[in-house]
Chain A
Amino acid sequence: MMKSIDITSLLSGCKSGDEEAITEFFQRFRPDVFRMALSILDDPAEADDAAQVSLLRALNKLHSYRCESKLINWVYSITLNECRARLRRRHSRERLLHSLFHAYRAHNPSENHPEEQAIRNEGNDAVWLAIRSLPDNLRLTITLRYYHELPIGEMAEILKVSERTVHNRMRTAHERLQAALDERVVEDERDIT
């Protein structure tokens, strides 16, 4: 069992390429970084890959870390950038896939495609569907808030926006989700009362 290293020694060791420090760095931050990547990418395998890449990138950029924010938030920023890049690539692939799918359906109307089946399954969970329909920036904001339970200040730091912007995004996301889930919420209220 490896002993825990204080943050200063950890940074110093990682910068000099110390094996123990690097191992500690990965073990300490990997679970959180994975959760962050998963919440953005919504794909465990890709999140695992993104977490590893993000941690390697953070390790190589440690010399630029100025201790102005929490180390984990700084690593989150790098993870966020990595995941956003992956999302952009994925959206491009999805658009291509969507076009191919429609072209395929035009020629085979009765075929039940696995992607379509998956969408139908997700439809069962109205909340998740509503969350997924949000733009990336709004979805990321409520993910940081409700899944990672980060304070507004740290969210602003990670997203590199002002706290006011975080508030606005939170409000907009709530309004859109509320609109999407309006009927269901009303039903829940009825059930409660």
Chain B
Amino acid sequence: MNEISHKQAYEFIHMGESQLDTAQKEGLTSHLRSCSKCQGYARVQQQLAELIKSAMYVRWGGYHPKKFNQEKIVPVARKSVRFRNAFSFARTLLLVAVLIAILVAGISFLIPGNIFQQSKTNEIPAKPNANDMPIIDIPSASPTPTQSKEDELEKLAVDTALAYFTFDYRDVNSWWSSVQDQAYWDEFIKKEVSPVLIPFMEENKVTSKASLISSEEMFYKKWTNGDKETIWRLNLSVTPPWPGEKPPFPFGQGATNIPWTNGEETVVYAAVIIYDGNTEVLLIAVDSIDEALQSLQD
């Protein structure tokens, strides 16, 4: 930094030699050696600085601060500092308290059931709209049998004109009904009270009905297997056709098989009723129950 401008030289002169680093000093010395104008300026400024210093030292140099009155000043200073510290502590405490209050208020506002929301719940509730109310299906204590509509009935036609069985299987979990209809059974139907409705899930029992045709009782026998499947069996014989009142043949899951015999000719009407509402009917004429069972099993 040997080459400096006049402006820089002026700055360095004003700064004073003691303020300059080595490079700046060298640059200024070199510049002053070659520039008489700046050299003169530097000389004048130096004299001026000395005059100023001299004037200031003469003016103020003789003055000194008064003797330090420790006993008087220090207690005042300590009191002032302690007051400031106490004030600062109190201010911090207040700030923290305010922040906590804001925080608690914020949390309370967000939590359900807070005092703000309680005040709302104390208001008189508006009358609910009927459309908004949930529909609750309350089952009656004892189901009431209902008459099936004819167009909903499943009909079984028997070629031997022995009987027509109509199964109204509306809901596998609720009702099963059997109705005798037409021809050979006309009188029977009148006497038997048509339709005969039997609760599907009743406990095991035998319902006896008098048959005008054969003077034999007709049995409706209900069986419930281990899977809570219920099987109804119609039989005209006086005694139960199957000993031990055990299911005569296995039943598929979700199906009900109904065999029937008039005592002379054994016909198995196997109505396989599937839980989804579809009914598949098998009509098998056999000579014996055993044969009927075998046929069904096949």
Contacts and interface: CB of A to CB of B under 8 A. Distances in A.
B126 to A, nearest CB: 59
A123 interface: no
A59 B80 contact: yes
Interface string B76-92: 11101110110010000
Interface stretch (A69-77, A91-99, A125-133): A125-133
A87 interface: no
A34 B77 contact: no
B11 interface: yes
A39 B51 CA distance: 16
Interface residues of B, number: 39
Contacts of A59: 77, 80-81
A17 B16 CA distance: 42
Nearest to A32: B65
A147 B80 CA distance: 32
Interface string A8-40: 000000111101001100110011001100110
Contact of B65 (A42, A48, A125, A167): A48
Nearest to A151: B19
Interface in A133-175: 142-143, 145-147, 149, 151-152, 167, 170-171, 174
A102 interface: no
Q: Which residue, of B18, B49, B78, B80, has the highest number of chain A Cβ atoms within 10 A?
A: B78
| Chain A interface bracket (under 10, 10 to 19, 20 to 34, 35 or more) | 35 or more
B45 interface: yes
19 contacts: A16-B81, A17-B78, A19-B74, A22-B74, A22-B78, A23-B74, A26-B68, A30-B68, A35-B60, A39-B60, A42-B59, A47-B65, A59-B81, A128-B59, A131-B56, A142-B52, A146-B49, A146-B53, A149-B18
Interface of A: 14-17, 19, 22-23, 26-27, 30-31, 34-35, 38-39, 42, 44, 47-48, 51-52, 55-56, 59-60, 63, 125, 127-128, 131, 142-143, 145-147, 149, 151-152, 167, 170-171, 174, 177-178, 181, 185, 188-189
Interface of B: 10-11, 14-16, 18-19, 44-45, 47-49, 51-60, 63-66, 68, 70, 73-74, 76-78, 80-82, 84-85, 88
Given A34-B64, A131-B56, 11 more contacts: A17-B82, A17-B85, A19-B74, A22-B78, A34-B63, A34-B65, A38-B60, A127-B52, A178-B45, A181-B51, A185-B44
